[in-house]
Amino acid sequence: MKIHTLRCLIIALSCCIAGTAMGQRFASPNAKAQYHRSRTVDVKHLKLEITVNIRKGTVAGTSELTMTLVQDSPTLNLDAAEMTIQKVQSGDTELSFTHKSPRLTVTLPKGSKRGDTLTLKVSYEASPKRGLYFVRPDKTYKKRPYQAWSQGEAIDNRYWFPSYDFPDDRFSSEIAATVRAPYEAISNGRLIDVTWSKKGWRRFHWAQGKDHVNYLITLVVGDYDEHPLKGHRVPMSVWVNKSHNKDWKRSFEKTIDIMNFFEEYIGYAYPWEKYDQVVVEDFLFGGMENTSATTMTSRTIHDERAHLDFSSDGLVAHELAHQWFGDLITCRSWAHLWLNEG
Ligand SMILES: [Zn+2]
């Protein structure tokens, strides 16, 4: 994630000064201690089958988790914040559960034991206030497009789908998102197919084959044009709202050079199926390094005059570097987040 270099520097310096003055820990005196979470499950695969209504600001469907139990326990906990859980199933069997946001506690089928692999399907609906953000036109900005975009880091993906939302577990993932045409849904990994599901609605099915972490799962919905960047073995695209078609190139044209530099300098080939950069309106940060599909702020797109004093190269390079540092090599807990940014 890139917030602002200067602000980061000031925070880093304050941490140094505080650390030196106290003569002890390298941490701000106000820093909250971060603890590792002890796992009851090892998630293998997550599949979301959801309908996203970007005009109403809702998401509804199922989150299906295939996992192995790593403890003998009659229940397991998932993260599911501020949403309505309708039912939890294992195969055709409905399981009992209690939901006290953000914790969903599921009673496992009788006889379940450590080492067993099972698939839980959680049916839910939500009107997320965090995690998945809805952008729409208003009185003061009539041309703002309708969009929805997610921001999972650190623990906000639990506001739009139930899962295991902590960085110490990696799993493959699939998102099948049904959205009203002409909107498109963009996510991690490879686009398997696009099908018409009901009148005027299309289902975009994305799959990420290589394991990654829950907070890096992304979904962007909007009226997008895809601009492929040609000339590299990794398929790369920049996705923008039509209003940016004139100026997007200035910000992203060096992506392939930056990719070539990192592959050579790190000595490890880019590890994911593709690299998309998806430009969204009103983003909270400069960029967010979601696995294989970075979200970028539209504020980085600029005209020829501004280009004399401004460049997006630093942002593009920062987010691309995270595809190795943070995404391929991951934190065990949030106490280690500085390793991603370092
Ligand atoms: Zn970053």
Q: In what order do the strands lie in the sheet with 147-150?
A: 132-135, 147-150, 219-222, 184-187
Measured in Å, residue 35 CA sits from the centre of ligand 1 at 22
Peptide bond into 235 cis (omega under 30): no
Confidence of residue 14 (pLDDT cuts 50, 70, 90): very low
Give the ipTM of the model, two decimals please.
Answer: 0.99
233 against 14, higher pLDDT: 233
Read off the DSSP letter of residue 304.
T
pLDDT tens digits, 82-123 = 999 999 999 999 999 999 999 999 999 999 999 999 999 999
pLDDT of residue 271: 98
% of the chain at pLDDT higher than 70:
93
**Mean pLDDT in residue range 317-340:** 94
Q: 189 near 209, Cβ under 8 Å? A: yes
Measured in Å, residue 123 CA sits from the centre of ligand 1 at 33
39 against 311, higher pLDDT: 311
Q: 332 near 36, Cβ under 8 Å? A: yes
Measured in Å, residue 286 CA sits from the centre of ligand 1 at 9
pLDDT at 10 over 70: no
pLDDT at 1 over 90: no
pLDDT of residue 18: 36
pLDDT at 8 over 50: no
Measured in Å, residue 325 CA sits from the centre of ligand 1 at 9
Measured in Å, residue 324 CA sits from the centre of ligand 1 at 12
Measured in Å, residue 194 CA sits from the centre of ligand 1 at 32
**Mean pLDDT in residue range 129-152:** 97
pLDDT of residue 25: 58
Measured in Å, residue 49 CA sits from the centre of ligand 1 at 29
pLDDT tens digits, 156-197 = 999 999 999 999 999 999 999 999 999 999 999 999 999 998
pLDDT at 312 over 70: yes
pLDDT of residue 37: 83
Measured in Å, residue 154 CA sits from the centre of ligand 1 at 12
Confidence of residue 125 (pLDDT cuts 50, 70, 90): very high
Question: Two tokens at 76?
Answer: 């397991």
93 against 9, higher pLDDT: 93
pLDDT at 19 over 60: no
Measured in Å, residue 327 CA sits from the centre of ligand 1 at 11
pLDDT of residue 324: 98
Architecture in CATH of 39-222: Sandwich (2.60)
Confidence of residue 21 (pLDDT cuts 50, 70, 90): very low
* CATH number of 225-342, picked from 3.30.70.520, 3.20.20.100, 1.10.390.10, 3.40.50.720: 1.10.390.10
What's the whole-number average pLDDT of the chain?
92
Measured in Å, residue 226 CA sits from the centre of ligand 1 at 24
Backbone angles phi, psi at 253, to 5 degrees: -70, -15
Where are the strands (E) in the chain, listed by range?
41-53, 58-69, 75-79, 84-90, 93-95, 97-100, 103-107, 117-126, 132-135, 147-150, 170-180, 184-187, 190-198, 201-213, 219-222, 224-229, 236-241, 275-280, 287-288, 293-297
Measured in Å, residue 323 CA sits from the centre of ligand 1 at 10
pLDDT of residue 289: 98
Measured in Å, residue 287 CA sits from the centre of ligand 1 at 8
pLDDT of residue 100: 98
pLDDT at 220 over 90: yes
Q: 195 near 234, Cβ under 8 Å? A: no
Confidence of residue 28 (pLDDT cuts 50, 70, 90): confident
What is each CA distance from 31 to 18, 26, 55, 215, 332, in whole angstroms? 11, 10, 39, 21, 18
pLDDT at 17 over 70: no
